[in-house]
Each structure stands twice: as structure tokens, then as C-alpha cells.
């Protein structure tokens, strides 16, 4: 894993504080500084700043591997972060956020906390017209609702698998075709080919 891609809260804050307030609030130039913008900004600039050919080659390999499978992308913390950020820019991050929430749900040890978390997940993602309603069919929604009346650690397994399959079929190919991912591949390739000094 390339450690040069560790983004810190302090780094993001320094970028925001370093921006001109006139630029940020100008009626002629609306600048939206959200997580995804900052993520892409730092990712690209980090890549461009690498001096070591070995690091650049390793980074290029990692980024190329994201196209091998959806599972490879999600298991890479930078791939996952970029996937989430890109979905957020399209206001379609509910499926990945639900999938990640399900992963956290399975780690809960306390039965009391499990019930509380199950209710929260249902209200946020499963219920009809939930704030972040996931794209699932009526039958799956009803079955999940029934399972969450008496939640267990496996209550969300089926719906999590369905949401994963949806993302694998739709969001993942879209991510691979995205300009951001293609630009990242091209830039890392150029960096690898450029002579290191």
C-alpha cells in the first residue's frame, strides 16, 4: 500500500483556510469545497509530487488493479475512498454507504446495540422514502423489514448481497469509465514513464 496517500483532517483544513474568502463567496464564482473535490485535488497532487520511480510504479499497479474486480476496488482503501467520493458527486452514494453500514453492523457484539442499529439502518436506508433509500425490490424490502423486527447478525446479509450486485453491475462499470479514473490512470502512467531525478 502506498503510504504517501494518507490524507489528514489538518491538511484539508489548511487548504480550506488557505483559500481566499473573496473567491469562496464571490457571486461570480461559486466554489464548492466538499470532500470529493479535496480528495481528488490531494490525490492528483500527491501523485505528481512522487519522486521515486518505485513508488510511482507501485501506485500505478494499485490503481490499475481496481479494474480487475469490484471486490479489489472495495478492498483498497484509496479505491474505496475514490469510489465513494465520485458517487457522492452524483448524489448516488446511498448503496455504497448502506453496504459499508452493513459491514459495521456485523461487527456489533451487544444485542442491545444490534437492535438499536437495526432500527436506525431500517429508517435511514430500507423504509419506503427513507432519507437514503436503497434501490431494492418490494419483496426484499418486506423480508428485510420482517428480519429486523428481531434482528440477528445475519439479518442484513441478503439485502447487502443484492445491493453489492447492483453496484457491481451499474456503479462499478460507470466508475471505471469515469473521466476521474481514466485521468488518474493516464497521469500515473505518465509519471511512471517520466525520468526520476
Rounded to whole angstroms, the Cα distance separating 187 from 197 reads 18
% residues pLDDT > 70 (the chain)? 68
Q: How far is CA 127 from CA 86, 120, 134, 146, in A?
A: 25, 10, 9, 12
Residue 57 confidence class, pLDDT cut points 50, 70, 90: confident
User: What would the mean pLDDT of 79-104 be, rounded to a whole number?
Assistant: 92
Res. 36: pLDDT tops 60: no
What is the reported pLDDT for 30?
36
Q: Domains in the chain, please, with CATH?
A: 1-197 (1.10.167.10)
More confident residue, 187 or 103: 103
Which tens digits make up the pLDDT trace of 58-83?
A: 778 888 999 999 999 999 988 998 89
What is the reported pLDDT for 184?
83
Which tens digits make up the pLDDT trace of 166-190?
A: 999 999 999 999 988 898 888 777 7
What is the reported pLDDT for 67?
95
**Burial class of residue 137 in the structure, from the number of CB atoms within 10 Å of its CB (0-12 exposed, 13-18 middle, 19+ buried):** exposed
Amino acid at each position: 500500500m502506498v503510504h504517501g496517500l494518507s490524507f489528514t483532517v489538518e491538511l484539508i483544513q489548511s487548504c480550506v483556510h488557505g483559500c481566499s474568502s473573496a473567491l469562496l463567496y464571490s457571486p461570480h464564482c461559486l466554489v464548492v469545497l466538499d470532500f470529493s473535490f479535496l480528495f481528488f485535488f490531494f490525490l492528483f497532487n500527491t501523485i505528481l509530487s512522487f519522486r521515486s520511480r518505485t513508488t510511482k510504479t507501485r501506485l500505478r499497479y494499485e490503481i490499475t488493479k481496481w479494474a480487475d474486480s469490484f471486490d479489489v476496488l472495495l478492498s483498497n482503501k484509496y479505491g474505496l475512498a475514490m469510489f465513494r467520493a465520485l458517487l457522492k458527486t452524483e448524489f448516488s452514494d446511498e448503496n455504497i454507504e448502506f453496504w459499508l453500514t452493513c459491514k459495521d453492523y456485523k461487527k456489533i457484539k451487544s444485542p442491545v446495540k444490534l437492535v438499536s442499529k437495526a432500527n436506525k439502518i431500517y429508517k435511514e436506508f430500507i423504509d419506503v422514502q427513507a432519507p437514503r433509500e436503497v434501490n431494492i425490490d418490494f419483496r426484499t424490502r418486506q423480508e428485510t423489514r420482517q428480519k429486523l423486527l428481531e434482528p440477528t447478525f445475519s439479518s442484513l446479509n441478503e439485502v447487502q448481497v443484492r445491493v453489492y450486485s447492483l453496484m457491481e453491475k451499474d456503479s462499478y462499470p460507470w466508475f471505471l469509465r469515469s473521466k476521474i479514473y481514466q485521468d488518474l490512470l493516464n497521469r500515473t502512467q505518465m509519471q511512471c514513464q517520466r525520468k526520476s531525478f
